[in-house]
Amino acid sequence: MTFGRHTLSTGDIVFTTLETPTIMAANSGPRIGAVIISELHYTPDSGEEYAEIHITSTT
């Protein structure tokens, strides 16, 4: 597993796992797990809440 710096859309820089090793080259993209939480909805006044989960695995 390879770790490296990744710049978020907010401009913040994080240290995360990368897709592939990139020795002496620019870092690859961040490694994305098998499950992604794509949306959270929480409205305490109405009592409505849900989480949208996307499973990227094919098995």
CA gap 43, 15 in Å, rounded: 32
The pLDDT score that the predictor gives to residue 40 is: 87
The pLDDT score that the predictor gives to residue 33 is: 78
Q: What is the value of pTM for the model shown?
A: 0.50
The pLDDT score that the predictor gives to residue 11 is: 92
Q: Give the closest residue to 41 by CA, choosing from 30, 52, 33.
A: 52
CA gap 6, 48 in Å, rounded: 34
Instruction: Residue count of the chain, please give it.
Output: 59
Q: In the numeric block, which tokens belong to residue 2?
A: 């390879």
Q: Could you state, in chain order, the average pLDDT of each consecutive group of 10 residues for the chain (59 residues)?
A: 88 90 88 83 82 82
Q: Name the DSSP class of 45.
A: T
